[in-house]
Amino acid sequence: MTEREGVGAIFRDRRKRAIAGACATVAVLGMAAGVLVGPVRGGSGRSPAPLSRVSARVSDATTSAPAPTSDGTPEATAAPTSSPAADQTGLGGGSATAAPAPVPAASLEATALDFGAENVGESNGIHFLHLANPGGPALRVRSITTSADSFQLDEGACSGETLQSGQTCPIGIRFTPTAAGPLTATLTVTDDASPPTQTVRLSGTGTAAAASIDPTSIAFSGSSTGPVTVTMRSTGTGNLDVLDMVVTGPTPHFAISANTCISGHAPGTRCTFEVNATPPIGAAAYRATLVIYDDAGGGSQSIALSWAPGTTTTTTTSSSTT
């Protein structure tokens, strides 16, 4: 081979290598283009993918993959956080439940009230029980009632009142027994508290006063004008109260003195007073009645009184009455 032929062979060999490298480069570029654009099949092949879809794929790829850090490791991504709406609605996805409105409170100073013993048909006054709003919203009292006639509400009870926080209201109750023996009832307060009713147990004992008088008649004559002592006994189950003593009749010439029967008397006790005749000078015989008003059965006791001129005597008659 001549020198010229050797040079030509080298030149042809380099040219083949250059062409082979160029073909390889074109093949690689073609493969890349096929991925992004898709294959082109002459005039009837698919159209290239729209640029927006290509951009979307690139955007998805870039956002889904963490960016590398300076040392080449993937950068950590923050965990997703819940939105305020999700925090409020909860797992069920429903709306948040509002806190319940505060409810008024009511308090009675006692759950039971005993009135003790009292004579049938009588009352020892008004007892007061206080209802309070211990705190919170205003308390409206709707009604107050008792379950028995022996326990009556006094006028001015706080039914219908509105109690602000810290305020109280007095409930007046009067015990007037309608029968003898133990008596009970329930006082009920209805309001807008929770629970809406409060109750108090009421109790008391009905008693009966009774009395006896000795003597039950006194007859004076002549200069015998007394005094004659009268004894009054409390014979019932309740206290005996003497209310008044009055001499009645057309000629009430009699007087009462040394009276110890002017206050209440417990069962089994007694009291006394004295009766005198006060005839006018020259008077003829006369009569009168001493009436003792009390709270025993019947409401009064009586003593027949008389005076006559002549022989000086005093006659009494004993007969207990109840």
Three-state secondary structure of 25-63: HHHHHHHHHHHHCCCCCCCCCCCCCCHHHHHHHHHHHHH
CA atoms of 3 and 233, how far apart (whole Å): 174
Contact of 318 with 215, CB cutoff 8 Å? yes
Residue 22 has pLDDT above 60, yes or no: no
Q: How high is the pLDDT of residue 290?
A: 96
Q: What percent of the chain has pLDDT over 70?
A: 69
Residue 183 has pLDDT above 80, yes or no: yes
CA atoms of 73 and 194, how far apart (whole Å): 66
Q: How confident is the model at residue 32 (pLDDT cuts 50, 70, 90)?
A: very low
CA atoms of 68 and 49, how far apart (whole Å): 29
Is domain 107-207 annotated with CATH 3.40.605.10?
no
Give this prediction's pTM.
0.58
Per residue in 234-284, pLDDT tens? 999 999 999 999 999 887 899 999 999 988 899 999 999 999 999 888 888
Sorted by where each begins, the domain ranges of the chain are 1-30, 107-207, 211-317
Is domain 211-317 annotated with CATH 2.60.40.10?
yes
Fold match between domain 107-207 and domain 211-317 = yes
Residue 61 has pLDDT above 80, yes or no: no
Token readout for 300 is 């009064």
